[in-house]
Amino acid sequence: MAAFSDVEAEEPRFAARVRAAFDAHRHKVLATLRADGAPRVSGIEAAFAAGDLWVAGMPRSVKFADLRRDPRMALHSGSDEPDTFSADAKVSGRAVEVAGGEQRAVFAEATGNPAGGDYELFRVDLEQVVLTAVAPAKDALEICSWRPGRGLTVVRRT
């Protein structure tokens, strides 16, 4: 697993494009697993701060109960309409709850949120980061995928 700072160190241009895709939309889509194993998708806000990707939200949300039970998750940046689409991003990994202490203070300092605020907080350990973008010549899609220990791969789809 990796932090977003690992992606930035290995592939800075790719990481900047991924971050721009996530920053283009305030609300993201979080995928978790329910107790019965069925998927659940939920709206959520996410932040890149202090070298990590974080998700935070209202206390007692079922999405956070899902993550406590099974930390596997995926997060989608959201997409523009097809006529204006340029790129979207997805990450998958495991959510690590941050209930208090130093990590919560780091998040609070980096984002301007109160460290003792009434919100639940998870840091994302990354297993995969994907950027799907229109190729510069606008003749194909380029799917760029980064995994820890494997680096970046690019697939073109015409």
pLDDT 10s digits, 133-152: 988 888 999 999 999 999 99
pLDDT given for residue 53 in this prediction: 97
Specify which residues 55 forms β-bridges with.
46, 122
> How confident is the model over 18-43, as a mean pLDDT?
96
Phi, psi angle pair for 26, to nearest 5°: -65, -45
pLDDT given for residue 72 in this prediction: 98
CB atoms within 10 A of CB 101: 9
pTM of the predicted structure, to 2 decimals: 0.93
- Residue 6 pLDDT greater than 80, yes or no: yes
What is the band of 62 on the pLDDT scale with cuts at 50, 70, 90? very high
- Residue 82 pLDDT greater than 90, yes or no: no
* DSSP letter, residue 146: E
Secondary structure class of 15 (helix, strand, coil): helix
Secondary structure class of 93 (helix, strand, coil): strand
Q: What is the mean pLDDT of the chain?
A: 94
pLDDT given for residue 101 in this prediction: 85
Cβ partners under 8 Å of residue 30, min gap 6: 41, 42, 43, 44, 55, 63, 73, 74, 75
What is the band of 11 on the pLDDT scale with cuts at 50, 70, 90? very high
CA 18 – CA 10 distance, rounded (Å): 13
Kindly list the distances between the CA atom of residue 47 and the CA atoms of 26, 27, 53, 57, in Å, as whole numbers in the listed order: 9, 11, 6, 11
pLDDT given for residue 41 in this prediction: 98
- Residue 84 pLDDT greater than 80, yes or no: no
pLDDT digits (tens, 9 = 90+) for 127-138: 999 999 988 888
CA 109 – CA 148 distance, rounded (Å): 27
Cβ partners under 8 Å of residue 108, min gap 6: 114, 115, 117
pLDDT digits (tens, 9 = 90+) for 41-61: 999 999 999 999 999 999 999
